[in-house]
Amino acid sequence: MIGGLRISTAALRRNAKALRQLAAPARAAFVVKSNAYGHGLIATARAVVEYADALAVYSIEEGLALRNAGITVPILVLGPAPVELLEGALAHDLQITLWDTGAYLETIASTARRQGKTFAVQVKVDTGVRRLGLDPSQAANAIQRIARTPGIELTGIFSHLASAEELDAAFTLAQVETLNAAIDGAKLDTKPARHIAASAAAMLWPQTRLDMVRFGIALYGLWPSKQTRAAMPQELKLEPVLSFESRIVAVRKIEAGTTVGYGGTFRAPRPMRVGVVPLGYADGIPRAVSNRGAFVVAGKRCPIAGRVCMNMTILDLGGTNARPGDRVVLIGSDGGASVSADDWADWAGTINYEIVARLPEGLTRTYDDG
């Protein structure tokens, strides 16, 4: 493949340090699920682990990969934990998320008793997203039952915010109250870690930080939303971690009126030079940026001409002397021009999370500590 991603581990560390300072005195957990939002699971975790009180993943498989790579900090599995993987999770000290007090709870407890260990779990309460979690009306009793189950160690109780990126705090603060009410109602003898805030809430609403903050998108130097970025003081500086580059493999001259690409959706308004970039939607470039987006060539933004193909994208090279072999910056900067993941998101009508998380694992990733 001609081209790939470059990830700055130095920028990752600087972001992690800044976010840990923001969270203090609460602890900082860094979310590295989904291949570290496209940045590479193992390398990202290794880069930030010195600043991490914990790491969060979605699956047991991700947690085991981190353990096999020598990562020793607490690891929380946020997603469902299949029964057939519980023994491996316990053997490698992964903390799993629990929202069931029936047969599954007994399965976890019996797995722990067979190994002569206790299984560390964190309980999730659904305070408003309506995905996973205990119903708030039943949460206090359920938390009590889980905490009293032999073989279970309750290390945390948490929830997830539905609209923390927005500047209206009413729903966000109501969710925090719901979580705290469930915890208070359980009347526990111990004090499991409470957490509900991710990047946006930790920035906008300090009262949501509780005992720990889960930092995801901000770790990678991307802002949770435009409103969040505008509302934050200048002291918090986040550095984009990822750049994406390729090369031009062909240049063609076309006459005015010539159509370009599938469906002929682009028609040359004048004689033009167009260049072919050997990456397409199979490589993470959204097809929705067709005829809307741009990449940087020779310090100039060059518009995408026609539809993004599976493995190729065509650029309008007007205003450049670009030739085959010249560098193309898909995300990043060159000279005075730049393109960001947020630009891609705007062109595609989505969010920066999706842009980076969908970058395929098959893309070459080079890690730069400079």
Residues that are catalytic: 33, 262
Number of H helices, E strands in the chain: 12, 20
Is-contact 322 275, C-beta < 8 A? Answer: yes
Give the closest residue to 273 by CA, choosing from 293, 303, 252: 252
> Which element (helix H / strand E) includes 334?
strand 327-334
Is-contact 96 89, C-beta < 8 A? Answer: yes
72 token code pair: 């020793």
Q: How far apart are CA 264 and CA 267, in angstroms?
A: 7
| Distant-in-sequence, close-in-space partners of 351: CB < 8 Å, separation ≥ 6 | 345
351 token code pair: 């969010």
Is-contact 217 352, C-beta < 8 A? Answer: yes
How many Å separate Cα 197 from the centre of its chain? 15
